[in-house]
Structure 1
Amino acid sequence: MSGKRAARLSPDERRAQLVAIGLDMLTDRSLDELSTDDVARRAGISRGLLFQCFDSKRDFYRAVVQRECDDFVAATEPDPSLGPVPWLRSFIAGFVRYVLEHRRVCLALVRGAAGSHPAVEDIVDATRATLARRVAEGQRRLGMPDSPRLAV
């Protein structure tokens, strides 16, 4: 822990701060390399305080991955009132924009999370399933036949 005293935050604010630090750290390391000691140090708190916010390292990892996946899903959600072509363009543009803006984190999740972290595999799989359903919805809106490859 650093020599400076951490600001007193509510439990929800501290939890959000720690998740944000975890996400920031994923820009230059894999989920496997995400150290709770380093996260606590960056937050200016003890490791013990981090574990007052999260039950375990697994719980912390899940919160970080869930936040990123929730943001990804939200960024790709088209306006349901759009016509078929604008709807699909909106989805694709949101997908591409998100990946470009969060490239390193997306790579960390795709490369590391699903294969090496059973703790978060369900979260990543659910996100992929949501995106696949959106592609299938775009096909349906365009009047295209169902694709067995998109079945979830």
Structure 2
Amino acid sequence: MTETAPRPRSPRMARDARRAQVLTVALDLFAREGFHHVSMDDIAERAQVSKPVLYRHFPSKLDLYLAVVDHRGEALVAAVGAALAAADPDDPQGGRAVVRGIVRAYVEFVEDAGDSFSLLFESDVTHDNDVRLRVDQASAEAARAICGGLRELAGLPPEHAELLSTALVGMARVAATSRYRSRRVAVDETVELVTQLAWRGVAGLVRDRPEPGDDAPEQCSGT
């Protein structure tokens, strides 16, 4: 009788390091094969950990999936925030800089994330309320950050900024994913093309920025 070789184990790690390793493995598997085609056995084998160790970190496959979605969502929101922070409020073309920064954030996020971008934009588990909420949360937080940027740099009233921020998220996301799949247009060229398209619309609604000392602008309520 042939004995089954024991599953190899990875070296011992600190708890946080092990959790990060499992998240990386799960992100890759979920992105390439989808939630329904990946089992906890698959993840344990790839991460070279026992199932009891895996379940100590994540009680279920859904908990692990949600953690991966949160991880990707945080990266997206950070990318949008960094792009907005880099825009110069004293630049007379500040509004265009905001739009360009938003578009670049999405295009580069998808490029850097590879197939894992699908966990945020094309999840195969979005019928589950918890997953839908997590997926929507990342886009909503990005839209709120964009709304604030449009309010500050382009001087738009809040209701216009909220509507445009949602539209910009959709446009940037679709353009980024389409470019990633086709590979027919370079990253920089994509950013400029989509910026030109989006800015032509935004510029028609931009009003003069408030002078110092004017009443404080209303805040975006969120989307």
Q: Could you tell me how far apart the structure 2 residues matched to 1:38 and 1:109 are?
A: 22
Q: For 1:62, give the aligned amino acid.
A: L
Kindly name which structure, 1 or 2, has the bigger radius of gyration based on alpha carbons.
2
Query: Closer, same or farther in 2 for the Cα pair 1:51/1:61, shift >3 Å?
Result: same
Aligned to 2:131: 120
**1:91-147 CA distances to partner (integer Å, 9 max, x unpaired)?**
321121102232422224322256233232222111111121133223322123433
Structure 2 contact 80–105 (Cα < 8 Å) conserved: yes
Q: Could you tell me how far apart the structure 1 residues matched to 2:120 and 2:87 are?
A: 31
Runs of 4+ in 1 over 6 A off after TM superposition: none
Q: For 1:54, give the aligned amino acid.
A: F
Q: For 1:132, give the aligned amino acid.
A: A
Figure out how many residues of one structure are paired with residues of the other and give that number: 152
Shift of 1:40: 0.5
**1:29-86 CA distances to partner (integer Å, 9 max, x unpaired)?**
2233332211100011111210011122222111111111111111221217732333
Aligned to 2:28: 24
Equivalent of 1:143 in 144, 155, 163: 155
Q: Could you tell me how far apart the structure 2 residues matched to 1:113 and 1:66 are?
A: 15
Please say if 1:79 is aligned against 2:82.
Answer: no
Which stretches in structure 1 are left out of the alignment for 5+ residues?
none
Aligned to 2:38: 34
Please say if 1:11 is aligned against 2:15.
Answer: yes
Greater Cα offset, 32-41 or 141-150: 141-150
Q: Could you tell me how far apart the structure 2 residues matched to 1:119 and 1:2 are?
A: 36
Structure 1 length normalisation: TM-score?
0.83
Structure 2 length normalisation: TM-score?
0.60
Structure 1 contact 31–108 (Cα < 8 Å) conserved: no
SS in 2 for 1:115: coil
Query: Closer, same or farther in 2 for the Cα pair 1:27/1:113, shift >3 Å?
Result: closer
Q: Could you tell me how far apart the structure 1 residues matched to 2:118 and 2:13 are?
A: 31
Which stretches in structure 2 are left out of the alignment for 5+ residues?
167-221
Greater Cα offset, 33-42 or 132-141: 132-141
Q: Could you tell me how far apart the structure 2 residues matched to 1:71 and 1:112 are?
A: 16
CA RMSD of aligned residues (A): 2.4
